[in-house]
Amino acid sequence: MVTGVNETAVADHYTVDGLETLILDALKLSGKLDALSPIDLAPVDEFHMGGRAATQHVIGMMNLPGNAYVLDVGCGLGGVARYLASECGCRAAGIDLTAEYVRVGTMLTERTGLADKVDLQVGSALDLPWPEATFDAAVTFHVAMNIADRPRLYAEVARVLRPEGTFAIYDVLKGPHDGLLFPLPWAETEKTSFLVTAGEMRDLLDNAGFDIIHEEDRREIALKHHRDRLAAQSAAGGPPRLGLHLLQGQTAKVKSHNMVTMLEAHQITLTAIIARRRA
């Protein structure tokens, strides 16, 4: 999610032909299409390590009031935004580069009866289309790995947040050991992958006007989640009808394997941060 051709490359990476049909067919086969709730979509619409459990944990640390207006930067299909609306009572806005994600996510929002509380739109995280101090809080889940201009990203989030607004970040970071294996869920090659260390992340947030109030490494939790998921798929003879493999195409298995390998080798880690915009 960087400017120019790289933004196009990132959007192309996440675009899946016929995604709406793939998801609706899987829901129909599962018998959930006619009475769809947000939790039914969790296997496919929470495209981050740890899935729904990670969403619950990170959002729970924000201590959001029920009437909060929250921005989801890099919203994907809108899973986190719908969680904020259905489980926390918030109004949520989401923005994402991938038009197919936003189109399908809007359809799913309507089918779950949350259209009055969740609004998803296509756009860049580096040029947020809202005035200053619009939101009470913001979240970004597994997004900044595609963004080279992180100073601009965090400055934009700070701009649209109200003073003392809460910002939750759940992202993959560079580990202490060098090396990456491609393809990955967020990138086919290094051309659209931009990881930073935990120390660099702290400096970036500080420079953007944020104070970190909580930080935790979730590498071991993510590693267990991925091992368990891969083992379950192996035992079942393949992935479930509805799952993240629908978003990752033919290389889904390779991408998941590479993630586990790099987590084990400390080449990547996973961090949750709760920060507050300075007044």
pLDDT score, position 227:
83
The correct CATH number of 5-277 out of 1.10.3470.10, 3.30.499.10, 3.30.70.141, 3.40.50.150 is: 3.40.50.150
pTM value is 0.94
Check whether 29 has a pLDDT greater than 80: yes
Check whether 5 has a pLDDT greater than 80: no
How many residues belong to the chain?
A: 279
Give the Å distances, CA to CA, from 34 to 20, 86, 108, 114, 225. Answer: 15, 18, 12, 15, 30
The residues pairing with 92 across neighbouring beta strands, listed in sequence order, are 70, 118
Are the beta carbons of 169 and 72 closer than 8 angstroms?
Answer: no
Q: For the range 25-34, what are the long-range contacts, defined as Cβ-Cβ under 8 Å and sequence gap of 24 or more? A: 26/241, 26/242, 26/246, 27/242, 29/241, 30/241, 30/242
Check whether 149 has a pLDDT greater than 70: yes
Give the Å distances, CA to CA, from 274 to 151, 171, 277. Answer: 17, 12, 10
Q: Predicted confidence band at 255 (pLDDT cuts at 50, 70, 90)?
A: very high
State both tokens at 151.
């100073």
Q: Predicted confidence band at 218 (pLDDT cuts at 50, 70, 90)?
A: very high
Tracing tokens 């986190």 back to the chain, one arrives at 80
pLDDT score, position 129:
98
Give CA torsion, residues 32, 93, 13, 171, to 10 deg.
-100
The residues pairing with 141 across neighbouring beta strands, listed in sequence order, are 170
Dist. CA 48–CA 179, nearest whole Å: 21
The domain locations on the chain are: 5-277
Check whether 33 has a pLDDT greater than 50: yes
Of residues 71, 70, 267, the one with CA closest to residue 172: 267
Q: Predicted confidence band at 233 (pLDDT cuts at 50, 70, 90)?
A: confident
Q: Where are the alpha helices (DSSP H) in 117-271?
A: 150-160, 198-207, 219-236, 245-248, 252-264
